[in-house]
Structure 1
């Protein structure tokens, strides 16, 4: 195996697949990146058992790829990345010189890295499932940004650690919840599809970080896996088993109180109030009237009071308590100048929406207090 390649192109692709390298994997072979050199391209593959990533680099003006000899080898992901990063040259050379011993060089720098035979790497099936649809890159990134934060970080209910993608007809509904808050995003697709899958939040966040294009992204799925095709990058992840809870019944549709407020003003007030912990949580009380919003947080040692002027408030005065960081996160991901918050009562879930995008909905459960 022997090739020359542009350092930046090679390192960029190593960094992409390295997201799937887990140094904590019980299988030591998964600490490695599989490097495959073909007739006219090279391929990098990595997996942690749950998510697998493969990139292909072809010969062009950007890559400056020249292949002298085909072959395969497994190389430690961290060492490979560090070595390429430390080479101060535009072009690097990679060559196996004695079995799996790999020479990595550029100008006056010469590294040697002991590799492993590629036959020891598990076979990963990157075949494309039949069910496929496309999303614009920005649309997919927004789905991930506006939902993943609301997933659970507790493994007691594994299905809640992912985002549910449910499509019936041409409407795709993406939902995340940790039982105390909920994020929902709806997208209209070009064609009809029928599926109900739950994708791990971590995998989706890796996909978002990998997206490097404005082109459409192909999403192909089966009942066991989902494959994201991002130009020359394949990202494949297992699906979470289990039935996702029916969340539509949790979303109220009748409200007695409506608040329209400047998003930045409310975010700043919540940020200043939400650093105070009360019995382990960032508890905030919000009192509303047509004239002002009073946001209070307190502990045994500290009290914070913030005031915000509403743009509009409809209903009788209302006092409600909640986790300040939950509402802060919900407003932050709406990316709105103005936010509409709808309440049914002080102990019922309330809804946050952008006035510019009805397809995104955030829900937060209030907290009962005794003062």
Structure 2
């Protein structure tokens, strides 16, 4: 293998493939980026066995790719990124000179690095499943931003570490929950395809950090084992989470006894001011509501307490409810409107955060029992 390429363009493409690699992988082979030079293009592949990314660089005026000898090599991603970054010329040359020994050349700087045998790299099936849909990249970005944060961080129920995508009857429901909060995004989506899959939130965050950065439209292909996100020159492939996703619709109240309207920014800032006051490493806020005033407090015997009168409009009988400040603040940040509507059913029952400006998203939070 022997090729030359624009250093910055090559580095930018390597960064994308690097998103799929775990530097702590117990398998050294999975700490590498596979570089394949063939038929006038470079194919860069990275994988941690759960997420795999394949990025294509076709020769053009911008990347100035010139392949003089086809071939492939596997280089540890950490070394590869450092070498390319520190070479001292706009155009760099990469050549296999002996077995897997690879030479990287700039103007006056030369690195010789031991690569790994490409035959040892796992075979990754990037074949596209038959079922696929196309989606505006901005829509997918909103789905991820407004739901993925609510997934579970614990592996005790693996299916809860992902976002459930359920497309049926021209409606796409995207749901995330960790059993203490829930985020649900519902959009009208006309399609002959139907599916019910759960995608790890880690994979979705990588989609947001790579393929969604420049693409305008994304193709999502899936079967019962994997999901793929395609753009013109890249594919990100992820495994799916096994197990049935819990029925969450029954958790969402349909009738409410109390309503509070408040500026989204005011609520976020009010809770944020109290986040340093913690009980058992949690920020627990208490909300005392009446038609006359709405008071947000936080109290810790070890640290102290806070008290703030909120500029909010409350409707209903007096209400006293406590909740995780972090969860409510996350939910408020995920909403898009300037004003939030918080609907309550009782002091120890789930409550809903929504906004009239974006009716596609709903946030649910469970209260916390306290002994004030």
TM-score (norm 1): 0.97
Is the Cα contact below 8 Å between 2:200 and 2:240 reproduced in 1? yes
Q: Secondary structure at the match of 2:189?
A: strand
Contact 1:274 1:324 in 2 (8 A): yes
C-alpha separation in 1, matches of 2:190 and 2:38? 37
Displacement of 1:214 after TM fit?
4.1
Unpaired segments of 5 or more residues in structure 1? none
Superposed displacement of residue 15, structure 1: 0.6
Moved over 6 A (4+): none
- SS for the counterpart of 2:80 is helix
Q: Please state how far the C-alpha of 1:54 moved relative to its aligned partner.
A: 0.4
Unaligned runs of 5+ in 2: none
Aligned to 2:13: 13
Q: Is the 8 A contact 1:273 1:306 kept in 2?
A: no
Q: Is 2:159–2:198's contact at 8 Å kept on the other side of the alignment?
A: yes
**Partners of 1:273 and 1:295 within 8 A in 2:** no
1:297 is displaced (CA, Å) by 0.3
Note the alpha carbon deviations across 1:103-158, whole angstroms, 9 max, x for none: 11111221111112211111100000011001111111111111111110111111
**How far apart, CA to CA, are the structure 1 residues paired with 2:186 and 2:192?**
14
Look up the match of 1:161: 161
SS at match of 2:340: strand
| Structure 2 counterpart of 1:37 | 37
**What RMSD in Å do the two structures reach over aligned CA positions?**
1.1
Taking the aligned partners of 1:192 and 1:287, their CA distance within structure 2 comes to: 49
Q: What corresponds to 1:84 in structure 2? A: 84
Q: Which residues of 2 match residues 31-110 of structure 1 at below 5 A?
A: 31-110=31-110
Q: Deviations over 1:194-249 (max 9, x none)?
A: 21111011011011000222421000000000000022111000001011100000
CA distance in structure 2 between the aligned counterparts of 1:232 and 1:274, rounded to whole angstroms: 43
CA–CA separation in structure 2 for the residues paired with 1:106 and 1:305: 62
Q: Which residue of 2 aligns with 1:195?
A: 195
In structure 2, C-alpha distance between the alignment counterparts of 1:187 and 1:96, rounded to whole Å: 51
Q: What is the alpha-carbon distance in structure 1 between the residues aligned to residue 28 and residue 88 of structure 2? A: 30
Conserved 8 A contact 1:45-1:53: yes
TM-score, length-normalised on structure 2? 0.97
Q: Alpha-carbon deviation of 1:77?
A: 0.7
Structure 2 distance, partners of 1:354, 1:104, is: 55
Shift of 1:278: 1.4
Alignment of 1:176-191 (within 5 A): 176-191=176-191
Contact 1:269 1:307 survives alignment (8 Å): no
Number of residue equivalences: 370
* Stretch moving more, 239-248 or 279-288: 279-288
Give the match for residue 260 of structure 2: 259
What secondary structure is seen at the aligned counterpart in 2 of 1:370? coil
Q: Answer yes or no: is 1:240 the counterpart of 2:241.
A: yes
For 2:340, the equivalent position in structure 1 comes to 339
The corresponding residue for 1:274 is: 275
- Match in the other structure for 2:250: 249
Matched, 1:319 2:320: yes
Shift of 1:298: 0.6
8 A Cα contact 2:336 2:358, kept in partner: no
What is the distance in 1 between the residues matched to 2:193 and 2:322?
Answer: 40
Report the CA distance shift for 1:225/1:65 in structure 2 as closer, same or farther (over 3 A). Answer: same
Is the contact between residue 291 and residue 309 of structure 1 (CA under 8 Å) also seen in structure 2?
Answer: no
- Who is 1:219 aligned against? 220
SS in 1 for 2:194: strand
Per the TM alignment, residue 21 of structure 1 is displaced from its structure 2 partner at its CA by 1.3
Take 1:77 and 1:214, find their aligned partners in 2: how far apart are those partners? 25
**2-structure distance, mates of 1:114, 1:355:** 59
Alpha-carbon shift at residue 89 of structure 1 (Å): 2.1
User: What is the CA-CA distance between 1:3 and the residue it aligns to?
Assistant: 0.9
Secondary structure at the aligned position of 2:260 is classed as strand
